Amino acid sequence: MRLLPVLIVLAAGAGAGAAFYFTTPGKPRPDLCGASRDFLADPLAVAASGDAEGQVQAAWRHLNTIGPVPHDPARARALFQAAADAGHDEGDFGLGWIHSRGLGVPRDVALANSHFRAAADRGNACAAYSLARNLERGRGGPTDRTSAIHYYQIARPTNLKAWLPLARLMLDSLHPETFQPRQGILLLIETAEQGEPAAQFFLAQSRLNGHATQWNPRSGL
């Protein structure tokens, strides 16, 4: 029996927006990128000392015009590059963000993907999610569903937005190379239980046509 491809429109955001990085000075920020980092009250001063964490936080401020910091994509790019050169995963994520959107540079999704991959391979969930979306859709290179699944799985522990597209890829029977129905149904159930409306809708459809029962190892469905 073949599962129908999932026809669900997902949100257009490509990973975590830079704006959410800035909350209350001195408190941990709600970082979906997979690391727990403290908000720096004066990241520009810290960045001036060559500190990579200060550089990425200062760079986001320059992109978002936080407080008195002027909007300066070129300065942000330089700070992200310095942080990336020092091995900071968010430096590469920031460079990917800039190139994927053409912020002060020509838009280059292929180059963005190379930065997203460098960050994702060091565990950055935001970069993994952004890269997975591009790989799934063939943005900046050929479509690669297998790699998309891999990077969605990296993003999944800290980014709920990765759950539904990951489940969708696993449940698309038109692509047998990535068809993983048992894992997909379980993930779909978990996503629905988190309150995701699109997952709840698709899970209801799966129950109606018997797929949820067929492929779900849980009892009682």
Distance, CA of 128 to CA of 181 (rounded, Å) = 23
Residues 84 and 26 in one domain: yes
Cα–Cα distance list, 188 to 28, 148, 183, 195, 212 (Å): 30, 17, 9, 11, 9
CA–CA distance, 221 with 11 (Å, rounded to integer): 29
Q: What distances in angstroms separate CA 12 from CA 52, 109, 146, 195, 197, one per listed residue?
A: 30, 15, 21, 19, 16
Inside any domain, residue 85: yes
CATH number at residue 151: 1.25.40.10
Tokens read off for 174: 């038109």
Nearest-CA neighbor of 179 among 189, 168, 188, 190? 168
Q: 85-112 pLDDT, tens per residue?
A: 999 999 999 999 999 999 999 999 999 9
Q: How far apart are CA 146 and CA 179, in angstroms?
A: 10
Please check whether residues 130 and 182 belong to one and the same domain: no
pTM of the model: 0.77
Tell me, rounded to whole angstroms, the distance of Cα 117 from its chain centroid: 11
Which domain-ending residue is among 138, 158, 178? Answer: 158
184 and 107, same domain (yes or no): no
Q: Is residue 11 part of a domain?
A: no
Boundaries of domain holding 97: 18-158
Q: Is the pLDDT of residue 212 over 80?
A: no
Residue 3 lies in a domain: no
Q: Are 103 and 151 in a shared domain?
A: yes
166 with 154, same domain: the answer is no
Query: Which of residues 158, 180, 199 is at a domain's end?
Result: 158
Q: Which of 133, 158, 183 is the last residue of a domain?
A: 158
Residues 82 and 178 in one domain: no
Same domain for 102 and 150? yes
DSSP per-residue codes, 37-81: -BPPS-HHHHHHTT-HHHHHHHHHHHHHT-TTPPP-HHHHHHHHH
Burial class for 166, CB neighbours closer than 10 Å (0-12, 13-18, 19+): buried
Does 121 have pLDDT greater than 90?
yes
Q: Kindly report, residue by residue over 61-90, the tens digit of the pLDDT.
A: 898 876 778 899 999 999 999 999 999 999
Task: Assess if residue 83 is contained within a domain.
Answer: yes
Instruction: Identify whether residues 99 and 201 lie together within a single domain.
Output: no
Contact in structure between 77 and 83 (CB atoms under 8 Å)? no
Number of domains in the chain: 2
Query: Both 169 and 94 in a single domain?
Result: no
Is residue 44 a part of any domain in this protein?
yes
pLDDT at 39: 72
